[in-house]
């Protein structure tokens, strides 16, 4: 019987059993004998100096072991570079407990360590702190005059600056038949994964630590800890098999990691530090942004002038950037373009990549401006996209490795019933509800990075696959098992994928929709090497059926090496292992994307989102009643988990458009809704019919698997599609996000 390939099968998550029974353990859920609990003390002011940090009352409680602060912290890394992690933007990273300086509100300034969690939390309230405060700025709007170009650094490699201007934008825009322009404001947002950030540091003695960390990169946390605390890499092991959501927030090591390790080393005991929900608002966030657009088109609807400018917020110590203004010209081939991106420094923590960083921000202005342009031209919004369709990336003058966006438009429109739309705003109704249909285009980059993977054929005939990569809920374990199974022609049951451990072969941080392509390519490379080794052994077997054959003559199928032309001529893996004196056969490979080849192409996923909203005419209440997203993302390894990724992205899109925002009181420089009651994310009752289509897309350029990643593409088109639908329903163009009911009254 021939095995069906695993790739393409809607396999249920392999860790499902653990997750539905409570057996899955997250970072803060490990115990060690004599473990202590740490609770962080945060600054209540935004800028200034700590003038008094009095721990007497806290320390006098029996069971409180230590209170750390800048006054008594152990001497650790003195150089900024030691704190630089894999995702550090240009600048000098934040150093917890460095000195008496306060540089943002909520800054961690102390750690209370006690025998129990409750005691540590209580003692933290007894720490008395006084400050000398200084003037600060946290609002981007009054500070746009200080906007400047971002510094260039390592991170810039993955975040290219805006494309060079083309033609003469102003002249072309002025002469355009139809023009649309807008100014857009987006609030701060916080990732708020449901799991609280936590680190459990197990003190092993002899300078050795085992660390359970909430992270999107075990190696990233390992290097960070070793560098700061001067430990040998091999003595620091970071483990993260289950990560309770992250969405970018765990791309960088957060301060609970530093605190937990510092306390464990100093007290020579195991220490767990878990943040509370309000502390989840005291490190990275999606930055507030101000954007402007000016798009011009000729009478046929051809866009000939594109201008998109963005000003993003950053901290005073790092230049966090995102790709906001590069997308419009990647989609629409205008002759005259002007794209600008600047930063404003404020007294906040450095922003941090949050699901579809830059894309979720930039696509909203781009696609609502296109919608407005369609109205000015009296052309159907979908039709306007088709008029401006391009097979090439005009911004870089190169073809796409593949682009099935056309099919996304067509199949999405068909499924949604776009043709039933009356273009006139306020023309469609359900009782007292105004009904609107909106659509938008989505695009996200399809990257991959270097990584290592190891494959071992064990003497039991199982395939052990090893990588340090995490699975943040995206389905990495399942999908990588599928890839590995097919590479060796084994059923998935015979493949064991071990991951989430810095001891395993190197993997970069997990994000940017590049994990499947990155780790999948490494597995493919390791498999190629393993197959060679297996074949060599098989071909050298004395009485083996494959003696004297070449690698090209055989296939790896059904747990054995078969002659292509005659499946009955074969050697089983078990026999090969037996021949190897029952020793496992291993292959370790480092895979690097073929940069020279890739440079000739733009690589991106595409999507089209179609949305129906209902707006209560009297109350302004907005409901996204129906949405279809059609996605072109190359090969889909697992349609079940990939669909969930898109659905999750769509929910995030709904949230960004009409729900979530971090509200700042700029007089205090403080976030005011640091809890899940006031930081609104959609609840079940807010989410209605969501539909996902994967259009077929073959790509043999992007990487060896033909995959493009699905983590962000589900999000980017939703906010503009919803804003456009709200316009269609109400006739009101609201350019700030989120859109609230009071905007529509």
Give the interface with other proteins as residue ranges (CB under 8 A): 12-13, 15-26, 29, 31, 44, 57, 60-62, 116-118, 122, 125-129, 192-196, 242-247, 274, 276-277, 472-475, 640-641, 643-645, 647-652, 675-677, 681-685, 687, 689-690
- DSSP E strands, 276-346: 289-297, 303-314, 336-345
**Cα distances (angstroms) measured from residue 664 to each of 200, 346, 376, 630, 690:** 32, 13, 36, 36, 32
Q: How far is the CB of 24 from other proteins (least distance, A)?
A: 5
Q: How far is the CB of 638 from other proteins (least distance, A)?
A: 10
Q: How far is the CB of 19 from ligand FES (least distance, A)?
A: 8
Tell me how crowded residue 31 is: count the other CB atoms within 10 A of its CB: 10
187 binds, among other proteins, ligand FES, none (CB under 5 to 8 A by kind): none
106 binds, among other proteins, ligand FES, none (CB under 5 to 8 A by kind): none
Q: How far is the CB of 194 from ligand FES (least distance, A)?
A: 4
Q: And the tokens for 621?
A: 């209440």
Segment (H or E) for 50:
strand 48-54
Q: How far is the CB of 15 from other proteins (least distance, A)?
A: 7
The residues near 503 (Cβ < 8 Å, ≥ 6 apart) are 237, 468
Q: Is-contact 100 49, C-beta < 8 A?
A: yes
CA distance 396 to 317: 32
Q: Of the two residues 126 and 539, which places its CB atom closer to other proteins in the complex?
A: 126
Q: Which backbone phi and psi does 644 adopt, to 5 degrees?
A: -65, -35
Q: Of the two residues 51 and 149, which places its CB atom closer to other proteins in the complex?
A: 51
Q: How far is the CB of 358 from ligand FES (least distance, A)?
A: 23
Q: Of the two residues 22 and 431, which places its CB atom closer to other proteins in the complex?
A: 22
Q: How far is the CB of 613 from other proteins (least distance, A)?
A: 17
Q: Of the two residues 60 and 72, which places its CB atom closer to other proteins in the complex?
A: 60
Q: Which of 241, 473, 511, 719 touches ligand FES (CB under 6 A)?
A: 473
Q: Assess 682 for contact with ligand FES (CB under 6 A).
A: no
388 binds, among other proteins, ligand FES, none (CB under 5 to 8 A by kind): none
CA distance 280 to 270: 23
180 binds, among ligand FES, other proteins, none (CB under 5 to 8 A by kind): none
Q: Which residues of 221-232 are buried (b: 16+ CB within 10 A; e: fewer)?
A: bbbbbbbbbebe
Q: How far is the CB of 419 from ligand FES (least distance, A)?
A: 36
62 binds, among other proteins, ligand FES, none (CB under 5 to 8 A by kind): other proteins
CA nearest to 349, candidates 730, 598, 43, 719: 43
Q: Which backbone phi and psi does 405 adopt, to 5 degrees?
A: -60, -35
Q: Of the two residues 64 and 219, which places its CB atom closer to other proteins in the complex?
A: 64
Q: How far is the CB of 245 from ligand FES (least distance, A)?
A: 5
Q: How far is the CB of 738 from ligand FES (least distance, A)?
A: 20
Binders in 440-469 for ligand FES, by CB under 6 A: none
276 binds, among ligand FES, other proteins, none (CB under 5 to 8 A by kind): other proteins
Q: Which of 182, 245, 425, 461 touches ligand FES (CB under 6 A)?
A: 245
128 binds, among other proteins, ligand FES, none (CB under 5 to 8 A by kind): other proteins
CA nearest to 301, candidates 409, 408, 376: 376
* DSSP collapsed to 3 states, 579-643: HCCCCCEEEEEEECCCHHHHCCCECEEEEEEEEEEEEECCCCCEEEEEEEEEEECECCCCHHHHH
Determine how β-strand 463-466 pairs with β-strand 495-498.
parallel
Q: How far is the CB of 21 from other proteins (least distance, A)?
A: 6
Site for ligand FES (CB under 6 A): how many residues?
Answer: 3
Sequence-separated contacts (24+) of 224-227 with Cβ below 8 Å: 224/83, 224/85, 224/253, 224/257, 225/253, 225/257, 225/261, 227/77, 227/82, 227/83
Segment (H or E) for 455:
strand 451-457
Q: Of the two residues 72 and 675, which places its CB atom closer to ligand FES in the complex?
A: 675
Q: Of the two residues 354 and 394, which places its CB atom closer to other proteins in the complex?
A: 354
CA nearest to 369, candidates 110, 608, 3, 727: 727
Q: Which of 20, 56, 71, 194 touches ligand FES (CB under 6 A)?
A: 194
Q: Of the two residues 130 and 700, which places its CB atom closer to other proteins in the complex?
A: 130
644 binds, among other proteins, ligand FES, none (CB under 5 to 8 A by kind): other proteins
Q: How far is the CB of 686 from ligand FES (least distance, A)?
A: 15
Q: Of the two residues 17 and 79, which places its CB atom closer to other proteins in the complex?
A: 17
CA distance 423 to 409: 17
What's the distance, CA 284 to chain centroid?
13
Q: Of the two residues 457 and 710, which places its CB atom closer to ligand FES in the complex?
A: 710
Tell me how crowded residue 422 is: count the other CB atoms within 10 A of its CB: 11
Q: And the tokens for 232?
A: 């040998």
Q: Of the two residues 213 and 319, which places its CB atom closer to other proteins in the complex?
A: 213
57 binds, among other proteins, ligand FES, none (CB under 5 to 8 A by kind): other proteins
Q: Of the two residues 512 and 544, which places its CB atom closer to other proteins in the complex?
A: 512
CA distance 75 to 691: 55
Binding residues for ligand FES, per CB under 6 A? 194, 245, 473
């Amino acid at each position: 019987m021939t095995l069906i390939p695993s790739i393409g099968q809607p396999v249920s998550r392999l860790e499902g059993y653990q997750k539905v029974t409570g057996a899955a353990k997250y970072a803060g859920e490990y115990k060690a004998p004599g473990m202590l609990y740490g609770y962080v003390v945060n600054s209540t002011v935004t800028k200034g100096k700590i003038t008094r940090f009095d721990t007497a009352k806290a320390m006098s409680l029996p069971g409180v072991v230590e209170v750390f602060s800048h006054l008594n912290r152990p001497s650790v890394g003195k150089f900024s570079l030691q704190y630089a992690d894999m995702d550090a933007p240009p600048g000098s990273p934040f150093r917890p407990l460095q000195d008496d300086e306060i540089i943002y509100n909520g800054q961690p300034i102390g750690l209370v360590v006690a025998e129990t969690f409750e005691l540590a939390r209580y003692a933290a309230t007894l720490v008395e702190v006084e400050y000398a405060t200084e003037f600060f700025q946290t609002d981007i709007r009054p500070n746009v005059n200080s906007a400047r170009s971002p510094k260039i650094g390592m991170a810039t490699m993955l975040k290219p600056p805006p494309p060079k201007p083309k033609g003469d934008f102003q002249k072309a825009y002025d002469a355009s038949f139809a023009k649309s322009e807008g100014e857009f404001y987006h609030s701060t947002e916080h990732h708020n994964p449901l799991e609280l950030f936590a680190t459990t540091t197990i003190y092993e003695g002899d300078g050795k630590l085992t660390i359970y960390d909430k992270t999107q990169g075990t190696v990233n946390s390992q290097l960070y800890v070793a560098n700061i605390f001067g430990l040998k890499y091999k003595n620091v092991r970071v483990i993260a098999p289950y990560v309770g959501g992250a969405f970018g927030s765990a791309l960088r090591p957060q301060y609970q990691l530093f605190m937990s390790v510092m306390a464990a080393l100093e007290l020579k005991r195991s220490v767990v530090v878990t943040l509370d929900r309000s502390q989840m608002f005291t490190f990275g966030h999606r930055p507030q942004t101000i954007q402007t657009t000016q798009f011009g088109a000729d009478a046929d609807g051809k866009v000939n002038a594109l201008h998109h400018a963005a000003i993003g917020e950053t901290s005073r110590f790092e230049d966090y950037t995102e790709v906001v203004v590069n997308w419009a010209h990647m989609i629409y081939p205008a002759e005259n373009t002007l794209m600008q991106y600047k930063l404003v420094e404020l007294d906040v923590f450095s922003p941090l990549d949050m699901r579809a960083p830059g894309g979720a921000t930039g696509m909203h202005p781009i696609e609502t401006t296109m919608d407005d342009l369609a109205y000015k031209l009296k052309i159907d919004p979908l039709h306007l996209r088709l008029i401006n369709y391009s097979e090439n990336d005009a911004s870089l003058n190169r073809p796409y490795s593949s682009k099935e966006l056309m099919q996304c438009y067509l199949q999405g429109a068909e499924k949604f019933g776009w043709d039933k739309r009356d273009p006139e705003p306020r023309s469609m109704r359900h009782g007292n509800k105004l009904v609107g249909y909106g659509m938008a285009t989505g695009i996200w980059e399809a990257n991959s990075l270097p990584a290592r993977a190891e494959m071992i054929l064990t003497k039991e005939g199982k395939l052990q696959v090893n990588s340090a990569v995490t699975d943040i809920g995206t389905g990495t374990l399942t999908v990588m098992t599928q890839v590995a199974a097919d590479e060796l022609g084994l059923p998935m049951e015979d493949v064991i994928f071990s991951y989430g451990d810095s001891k395993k072969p190197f993997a970069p941080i997990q994000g940017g929709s590049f994990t499947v392509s990155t780790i999948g390519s490494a597995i493919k490379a390791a498999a190629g090497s393993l197959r060679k080794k297996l074949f060599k052994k098989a071909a050298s077997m004395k009485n083996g059926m494959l003696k004297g054959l070449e690698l090209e003559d055989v296939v790896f199928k059904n747990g054995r090496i078969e002659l292509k032309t005659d499946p009955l001529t074969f050697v089983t893996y078990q026999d090969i292992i037996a021949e190897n004196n029952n020793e496992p056969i291993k292959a370790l490979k480092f895979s690097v994307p073929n940069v020279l080849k890739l440079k000739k192409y733009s690589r991106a996923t595409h999507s089209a989102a179609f949305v129906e909203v209902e707006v209560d005419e009297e109350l302004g209440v907005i409901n996204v009643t129906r949405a279809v997203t059609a996605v072109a993302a190359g090969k889909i390894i697992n349609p079940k988990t990939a669909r969930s990724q898109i659905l999750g992205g769509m929910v995030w899109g709904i949230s960004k458009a009409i729900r979530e925002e971090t509200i700042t009181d700029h007089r205090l420089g403080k976030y005011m809704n640091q809890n899940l009651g006031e930081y609104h994310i959609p609840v079940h009752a807010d989410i209605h019919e969501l539909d996902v289509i994967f259009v077929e897309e073959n790509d043999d350029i992007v990487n060896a698997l033909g995959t493009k990643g699905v983590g962000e593409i589900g999000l980017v088109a939703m906010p503009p599609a919803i804003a456009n639908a709200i316009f269609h329903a109400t006739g009101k163009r609201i350019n700030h996000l989120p859109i609230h009911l009071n905007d529509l009254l």
